[in-house]
């Protein structure tokens, strides 16, 4: 059976407006990915070369996947995504073919984005029993990346929490040659994320500024978890409760510890 059948192609439905804060970063990415696609002749005329591929790096739960999806949505690109480790586990014995099929498929459904999540898994773990497969998958991937012509409608995006573990060959010019750090949210970004999440809940008397101020060090995913748990708590106390209150948030915050290790921050 072809590994291709396992590839899910989607047109995601995440808009820039669904992602709180990060305005500079959104602009940078639009310049790097959206503009060259939309205005390719202007870019060619002025001799501006878009990056071959973009690597988003930074701590977990800070919207790297959302950003990749928003780029696809806002530019109407088909979205193919694969997690690094899946290239080895899902298609045992045919990992190289899986890589080839992925790029073939992406060209067939172009304009498209291939999003590699957990990219550090590729080319990592050298020297283990799996070394051979890793070498071969990496080699195949490099071949495919070198065959991608910028502006030719397949865009490469990758994400990792551990840029230090990435194989250097992947980062050479013409491959993933644009690195963008996606940080933990600052106050303004936390405020926007919290307000986005609250807008989808029934709440009363919530001081979102105070919540943003008291969640320093939280990732976006942790802010999402905080809202989720506050709502669960409100329900636990009273299934008929009409709205989540500041009191519920206070209670959850008492025991909530952000978990991003210092080592993953720049």
Residues that bind ligand ATP (CB under 6 A): 19-22, 60-66, 117, 159, 161, 193, 196, 220-221, 224
Q: Which residue is nearest to ligand ATP (CB)?
A: 220
**Residue 242: burial class (beta carbons within 10 Å; 0-12, 13-18, 19+):** exposed
Q: How far is the CB of 234 from ligand ATP (least distance, A)?
A: 19
Query: Residue 60 or 174: which CB sits closer to ligand ATP?
Result: 60
Eight-state DSSP code of residue 39: T
* CB nearer to ligand ATP: pick between 66 and 142: 66
Residue 260: CB minimum distance to ligand ATP, A: 10
What is residue 23's three-state secondary structure? helix
Residue 6 vs residues 2, 96, 104, 152, 229: alpha-carbon distances, Å: 8, 15, 14, 25, 34
Beta bridge partners of 117: 83
Closer to ligand ATP by CB, 109 or 221: give it. Answer: 221
Cβ closest to ligand ATP, residue 21 vs residue 53: 21
Give me the least distance between CB of 223 and ligand ATP, in Å please.
Answer: 7
Least distance (Å) from ligand ATP to the CB of residue 41?
33
What's the min distance (Å) between Cβ of 17 and ligand ATP? 10
Minimum CB separation from ligand ATP for residue 147, in Å? 27
What DSSP string runs through 132-192?
HHHHHHHHHHHHHHHHPPTTSSEEEEEEES-GGGS-GGGGSTTSS-EEEE-PPP-HHHHHH
Task: Give the three-state DSSP class for 90.
Answer: coil
Distance between start and end Cα atoms, the chain: 43
Residue (72 or 142) nearer to ligand ATP, CB: 72
**Residues of 188-202 as b/e, b for ≥16 C-beta within 10 angstroms?**
ebbbbbbebbbeeee
Taking a C-beta distance cutoff of 8 angstroms, is the pair 12, 72 a contact? yes
Cα distance between residue 212 and residue 108, in whole Å: 44
Write down the least CB distance from residue 108 to ligand ATP, Å: 26
Q: Which is nearer to ligand ATP, 10 or 146 (CB)?
A: 10
**Closer CB to ligand ATP, residue 103 or residue 116?**
116
């Amino acid at each position: 059976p072809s590994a291709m059948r396992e590839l899910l192609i989607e047109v995601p439905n995440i808009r820039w407006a669904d992602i709180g804060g990060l305005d500079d970063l959104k602009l940078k990415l639009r310049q790097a990915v959206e503009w060259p696609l939309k205005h390719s002749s202007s870019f060619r005329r002025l001799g501006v070369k878009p990056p071959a591929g973009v690597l988003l790096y930074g701590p977990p739960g800070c919207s790297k996947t959302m950003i990749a999806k928003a780029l696809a949505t806002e530019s109407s690109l088909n979205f193919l995504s694969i997690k690094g480790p899946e290239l080895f586990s899902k298609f045992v014995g045919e990992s190289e073919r899986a890589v080839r099929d992925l790029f073939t498929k992406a060209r067939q459904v172009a304009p498209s984005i291939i999003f590699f999540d957990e990219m550090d898994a590729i080319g990592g773990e050298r020297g283990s029993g799996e070394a051979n497969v890793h070498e071969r998958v990496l080699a195949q991937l490099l071949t495919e990346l070198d065959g991608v012509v910028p502006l030719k409608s397949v865009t490469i995006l990758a994400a990792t929490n551990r840029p230090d573990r990435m194989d250097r060959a992947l980062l050479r010019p013409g491959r993933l040659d644009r690195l963008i750090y996606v940080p933990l949210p600052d106050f303004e970004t936390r405020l926007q994320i919290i307000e986005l999440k609250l807008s989808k809940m029934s709440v009363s008397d919530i001081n979102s500024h105070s919540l943003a101020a008291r969640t320093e060090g939280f990732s976006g995913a942790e802010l999402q978890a905080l809202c989720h748990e506050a709502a669960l708590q409100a329900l636990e106390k009273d299934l008929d409760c009409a709205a989540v209150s500041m009191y519920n948030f206070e209670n959850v915050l008492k025991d909530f510890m952000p978990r991003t290790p210092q080592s993953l921050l720049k």
